[in-house]
Amino acid sequence: MLSALFVSVSGSARLFDKLGGAEALHAVDRCMKRVLRGVDGFRGRIVRTTRDDITALFEHADDACQAAIAMQRRIADLPPVSGVKLAIRAGFHHGEVIGEGVGGCVNTAECLAGLAKPGQVLATAETQALLSVPLQSSTRCLDSLSVKGQFTDQRVFEVLWLEPRNPGYRAIVESAAEAPSERDPRLCLRYAGQVKLLDRIRPKLLMGRDSGCDVTVRDRRASRHHARIERRGDFFVLSDLSTNGTFVTISGGPELLVRREEFVLRGSGIISFAASASSPGADIAEFEYL
């Protein structure tokens, strides 16, 4: 039994259309070198490679997961090329592998990578259950996705690799040895003159119109139980429970609509309930990692 990791570069076709041969090939090659370093850094073995994807095998699910995280972080640091930002889609699965990268395990990993968005790392529920506790706590279930296995559909988990301002987390994914975070992550939420602090002692809160919520939202467009924020490992995750959705803006980034799904909060930003923050009468909360 081995863990198969399939990684594909996203954006390469657009780059070749825009730039043509040598320059585009150089940019993709630079991206692939970072992928290969991720494999080497966690004792992986490459069994198949093309211009813009690779298949690698690892003895343990933790190694495949940590390699994928390391790849994502290295590639996220690369600047855009002629306005095109390259990214990778990654999927890994633990199971039986026949010979040099043949069999259902490898096929499942490739299928997961195909389901992934640029910048995502996906794993089956079966594989997520094999991860160490620190890595398990940095995953979330994607209820809307499933991957068809040999006999049944399997739930899909996303690995949350983006770092909030927390230097302790990098030690988990860049070292084969597990190490506890040196710093306890905390999140401050400000709304209508209230200040709520989330930490190890108080790891979650509920927001909505219902008076029983930890934060009672005034906007009538908001749902009675609108959204929840909870700590998972070194991250805080917002889960939308509403009809109209929750609008989240990370400082310096675009506004994103989160509806019946989860979103990893990072840095600082604003949360608007049921309507865009730019709309008249928007009801806004502010958050910040401490």
Mean pLDDT score, 59-63: 91
Averaged pLDDT score across all residues of the chain: 82
pLDDT of residue 219: 92
39 and 161 in one domain?
yes
132 and 17 in one domain?
yes
122 touches 116 (CB < 8 A): yes
103 and 218 in one domain?
no
Residue 19 belongs to a domain? yes
Residue 182 belongs to a domain? no
Checking if the pLDDT of 131 tops 80, the result is: yes
148 and 14 in one domain?
yes
Residue 284 belongs to a domain? yes
Residue type, 257: L
CB proximity list for 119: less than 8 A, separation 6 or greater:
72, 76, 87, 88, 89
213 and 166 in one domain?
no
106 and 9 in one domain?
yes
Question: 53-58 and 2-10: which strand pairing?
Answer: antiparallel
Gyration radius of the chain over CA positions? 20
Residue 76 belongs to a domain? yes
97 and 54 in one domain?
yes
CB proximity list for 55: less than 8 A, separation 6 or greater:
4, 5, 6, 46, 47, 48, 49, 101, 106, 109, 110
- The total number of structural domains in the chain stands at 2
Residue 245 belongs to a domain? yes
Last residue of a domain, one of 174, 209, 239: 174
Mean pLDDT lowest among 2-16, 18-32, 51-65, 268-282: 18-32
pTM for the full predicted model: 0.57
102 and 32 in one domain?
yes
- H-run or E-run covering 226: none
Residue 54 belongs to a domain? yes
CATH of the domain at 27: 3.30.70.1230
Residue 165: which domain range? 2-174
Residue 80 belongs to a domain? yes
SS3 151: coil
Checking if the pLDDT of 166 tops 70, the result is: no
The two structure tokens encoding residue 67: 């390699």
194 and 118 in one domain?
no
pLDDT digits (tens, 9 = 90+) for 185-219: 899 999 998 999 999 889 999 999 999 999 999 99
For residue 130, give the DSSP letter: T
Query: Both ends of the chain: CA-CA distance in Å?
Result: 42
> Which has more confidence, 218 or 147?
218
Last residue of a domain, one of 174, 207, 226: 174
277 and 155 in one domain?
no
The two structure tokens encoding residue 222: 């908001």
Last residue of a domain, one of 143, 174, 205: 174
Angle at alpha carbon of residue 267, lines to 262 and 269, rounded to 5°: 75
279 and 165 in one domain?
no
285 and 217 in one domain?
yes
For residue 261, give the DSSP letter: S
Residue 179 belongs to a domain? no
